Structures are given as C-alpha cells and as structure tokens.
C-alpha cells in the first residue's frame, strides 16, 4: 500500500481530495490529510477505511518529521511560504513531494540534493502555474516538430465568477486567496515585445491592459505578470521576439482596481496606527489630502484627487463596496492591504450556490515555409458551486494526476521538476479532458 500525506485542506484542496479518494481503492492508497483545522472533513472521511485526518502544525518539527516518515508521497497545498519546511523534511527522509506553487530560489538550492537522492519534487503543478505550462508546451512542441519558428507567445489566465453568478458591478468574486489578489502585481512587470524589453512599474500596471474576446463568454482585459521572461529558457524560447504572461479580468476591473493602487490601499509594508478604531471612511480619509471645504463628500474628494468622474462607473464600483461608509474595520495593527482585503471579502466572496469560472488563453504566432500563422488555445471551465469550484478543480486535478503517475513509477525526472516535459504533460492533459478541462484551438494564416 502506498501512503499519501496531503498537507493543507483549504478551499483549493476539495477537488484534489475527491480525486485521491476516487482512485484510492484501485491504486491501493492510504491518504492522510493534515491541516490546522480538519473538522470540516470528518463527515467525508469517517465512512471510509483508506483515509484519515490529523490536526497538523507545519511548524511543529517533531510532528512534521513523524508524519512525513510514514508517507511515500507528500502533497503540500499549504501557503507557499511553508513549502520549504516540508521540502527539507522530505529530502531528509527521502520522500517525493508535489506542490502547486512557484519554484523559488530556496527550492532551486535543493535541486542537486534531490537528484542525488533519486527524489522528485514536482512544483508549479496546478493551474497557473501548471496547466498553463502543460498546454503551452504541447502546442510549442507541435509547432517545432513541424518545422515552425515561434515569433510570439502570450498567455493569460483569470480566476473569475461564472456568468450566472456575476451579479455585482465589479464582475468579480474571490475564487482564490483574497490576500494574493490584493497583493497581485506588486513590483515591476517585465516582458519582451518585438525584441524590445518592456517594463511596467506597479503604479502603471493596471493602466496598461490588453483586450481579449472569448467565444461564448465575452470580453476580457489582461494585465502583465511580474516576470514574463523567466520561462523563455524552460520553454525553449530564448530567442523569441515577443513573450508575455498575464492575468485576466472582466473589462473595467483594472481601471477601478487602479484606484486602490494610486491611493496606496494595497501596501503591505507597514501597519496603520489605530487601525482597530478605523472605519471604512476614515481608512480612505487617511490617504487623502485635506478637504477643500467641509461640505465635500468623500466621493467628491476621491474624484478630484484621482481625476475620476464623480458619476462614472469607477465611482459606482467604489461606492458599491461601501468604501466611504462608517463601517468599523476592527483589525488591530493592520496593514493597508489587510484592511482592504477585509472590506473586499465582505462584498466579493462567493455566496452559497455561486459558481466560479477559469479562463485561460494562449496566443501563438509562428513562421512556417515563409508564411505567418496564429494559434489561439482557450480553456473556459465552470465550477459546480462555492466548494467544488473551477479553481479547486484546475489546481487539484493536475496535482492528483501527477501524484498517481509518480506513484506508478511513470515519472523518471528527478530533482526540482516542473511539468514542461511530455512525460508529464501528455498524460495529465489527456486525463484532464476526461474531467471536462478541454482547450479549444483555432488556427489562421496572418
């Protein structure tokens, strides 16, 4: 019997857990799920013999060592900052590991030791990063094998709300960690366009967007991710003239979000004095210059300060959030980003019965026999409800499938591995199609 230790039982874990349970009997697995709180899983686990739950504290070195020692494979869906502690324990005890998070410099430092110990640490195995790598590499490989030369690659992904649950002026609801959304894009975005390196500082990021249309789902806009260039080498695209990776939102979102950036509400680098005594209105007030007159409303002051039409759609979005109301903040020693996150969660969380949506679109341009071609590859996936979300499905299923392949001995790459190799992405993409995660491809001559 193979033993799997799953660390992290939050919102993103639901589809992974279901997949592991569905395959446990046939694959002869025993699954242990650990998190700081697992009470919500008790009704699911109690009737079955091949799974159990444990209250798990990743910072408890003794417990961490004990539980990892029992496992053949560890899957970590904990917050990304905790993965490295788990990874070092896995290395010490010679256990394979899978995560959905980005490879960091700390993980790269473990690559040689993992190879030496014949271990596989698969990372970037979820949606973005994850399915984006796999689906892109399948097409890149096809273009190259036919003799084509890539001249442009753009890739955008968005976690959004499904059309039937899109009932607010932001056309958006949180389907992932709200903190990550609030902090998204901080730093300078960099990409390459027609051979010219481009840089977008954070305070300009949400002003420079591209527009997209997805058949059946309408119009979207995308902003650049922080680093679009780090995958040129892994993708085999070192000499490509244009490469950009970005995030998708519905049209109008970025213009409104830019208000938070310009005011400084997304800053997470310092704490606000007396944040526990603030209201939404006094929170915003603390970032504005003095009022020109006592009769000026908060909306008028924001409008004048940022040059936003008072009766326009951006101001309507801000007022819908109750940003200017005397609602208590109620958080001690909070950063601006933490206060903003709480305000947004009150209005932009998925309600019971809500469905989310994942949209991913790759755009390729290539030369073949002197002719220019374009390929568009698009994924649109809908969730079932606020628990079995499209986000959980597209993060959890590829992790689960890779776990199965690894335990079956079908993955031979060792060290720190991302799913850019046919050995990994071909079977994963094939099985994802069985679960309704399908890319629609169109090609045309330019």
Residue 186: CB atoms within 10 A of its CB come to: 16
Q: Are residues 104 and 120 in the same domain?
A: yes
Q: Are residues 193 and 210 in the same domain?
A: yes
Would residue 210 count as lying in a domain? yes
Q: Are residues 384 and 397 in the same domain?
A: no
Q: Are residues 84 and 24 in the same domain?
A: yes
Could you report the per-residue pLDDT of 110-163, keeping only the tens digit for each?
Answer: 999 999 999 999 999 999 999 999 999 999 999 999 999 999 999 999 999 999
Q: Are residues 15 and 26 in the same domain?
A: yes
Q: Are residues 33 and 99 in the same domain?
A: yes
CATH for 217: 3.30.360.10
* Residue numbers in the chain where pLDDT is lower than 50: none
What pLDDT, on a 0 to 100 scale, did the predictor assign at position 90? 96
The boundaries of the domain holding residue 75 are 2-126+391-439
Q: Are residues 85 and 67 in the same domain?
A: yes
Q: Are residues 308 and 226 in the same domain?
A: no
What pLDDT, on a 0 to 100 scale, did the predictor assign at position 11? 75
Would residue 262 count as lying in a domain? no
Q: Are residues 364 and 302 in the same domain?
A: no
Q: Are residues 383 and 308 in the same domain?
A: no
* Residue position matching structure tokens 């079955």: 48
Would residue 264 count as lying in a domain? no
Q: What's the structural domain count of the chain? A: 3
Would residue 176 count as lying in a domain? yes
Q: Are residues 298 and 323 in the same domain?
A: yes
Would residue 297 count as lying in a domain? yes
Would residue 344 count as lying in a domain? no
What pLDDT, on a 0 to 100 scale, did the predictor assign at position 369? 92
CATH for 13: 3.40.50.720
Query: Which residues lie below 8 Å from residue 346, measured CB to CB, with a gap of 6+?
Result: 322
Where are the strands (E) in 95-175, listed by range? 96-99, 120-122, 149-161
Would residue 345 count as lying in a domain? no
CB-based contact 225:245 (threshold 8 Å)? yes
Would residue 325 count as lying in a domain? yes
**Which of these, 226, 206, 222, 224, lies nearest to 314 by C-alpha position?**
206
Query: Which residues lie below 8 Å from residue 363, measured CB to CB, with a gap of 6+?
Result: 152, 153, 154, 155, 374, 375, 376
What pLDDT, on a 0 to 100 scale, did the predictor assign at position 42? 84
In this prediction the pTM is 0.91
Domain boundary among 308, 334, 360: 334
What pLDDT, on a 0 to 100 scale, did the predictor assign at position 38? 86
CA 107 distance to own-chain centroid: 19
What pLDDT, on a 0 to 100 scale, did the predictor assign at position 295? 84
Q: Are residues 366 and 381 in the same domain?
A: yes
Phi (first) and psi of residue 36, to 5 degrees: -65, -30
Instruction: Look up residue 173 and give its two tokens.
Output: 């609801």
């Amino acid at each position: 019997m193979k033993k799997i230790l799953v660390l992290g039982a939050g919102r993103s874990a639901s589809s992974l857990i279901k997949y592991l349970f569905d395959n446990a009997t046939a694959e002869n697995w025993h699954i242990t799920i650990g998190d700081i709180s697992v009470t919500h899983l008790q009704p699911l686990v109690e009737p079955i013999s091949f799974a159990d739950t444990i209250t798990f504290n990743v910072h408890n070195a003794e417990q961490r060592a004990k539980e990892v020692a029992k496992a053949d494979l560890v899957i970590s869906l904990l917050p990304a900052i905790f993965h490295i502690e788990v990874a070092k324990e896995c290395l010490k005890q010679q256990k394979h590991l899978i995560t959905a998070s980005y490879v960091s410099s700390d993980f790269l430092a473990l690559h040689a030791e993992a190879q030496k110990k014949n271990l596989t640490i698969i990372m970037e195995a979820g949606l973005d990063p994850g399915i984006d790598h796999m689906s892109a590499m399948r097409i890149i490989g096809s273009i190259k094998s036919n003799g084509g030369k890539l001249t442009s690659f753009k890739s955008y992904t968005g976690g959004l709300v499904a059309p039937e649950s899109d009932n607010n002026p932001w056309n958006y609801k949180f389907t992932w960690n709200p903190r990550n959304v609030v902090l998204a894009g901080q730093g300078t975005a960099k990409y390459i366009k027609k051979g010219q390196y481009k840089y977008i500082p954070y305070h300009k990021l949400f002003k420079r967007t591209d527009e997209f249309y997805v058949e059946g789902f309408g119009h979207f806009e995308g902003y650049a991710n922080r680093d679009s260039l780090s995958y040129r080498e892994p993708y085999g695209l070192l000499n490509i003239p244009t490469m950009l990776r970005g995030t998708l939102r519905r049209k109008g979102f970025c213009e409104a979000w830019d208000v938070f950036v310009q005011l400084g509400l997304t800053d997470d680098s310092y704490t606000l004095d007396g944040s526990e005594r603030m209201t939404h209105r006094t929170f915003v007030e603390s970032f504005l210059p003095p009022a020109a007159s006592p009769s000026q409303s908060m909306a008028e002051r924001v409008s004048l300060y940022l040059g936003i039409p008072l009766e326009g759609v951006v101001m309507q979005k801000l007022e819908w959030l109750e940003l200017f109301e005397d609602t208590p903040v109620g958080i001690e020693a909070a950063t601006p980003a933490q206060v903003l996150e709480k305000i947004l969660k009150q209005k932009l969380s998925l309600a019971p019965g809500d469905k989310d949506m994942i949209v991913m679109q790759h755009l390729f341009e290539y030369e073949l026999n002197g002719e220019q071609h374009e390929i568009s590859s698009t994924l649109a996936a809908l969730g079932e409800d606020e628990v079995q979300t499209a986000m959980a499905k597209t993060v959890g299923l590829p992790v689960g499938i890779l776990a199965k392949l690894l335990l079956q001995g079908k993955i031979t790459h060792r060290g720190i591995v991302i799913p850019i190799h046919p050995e990994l992405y071909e079977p994963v993409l094939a099985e994802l199609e069985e679960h309704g995660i399908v890319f629609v491809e169109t090609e045309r001559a330019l």
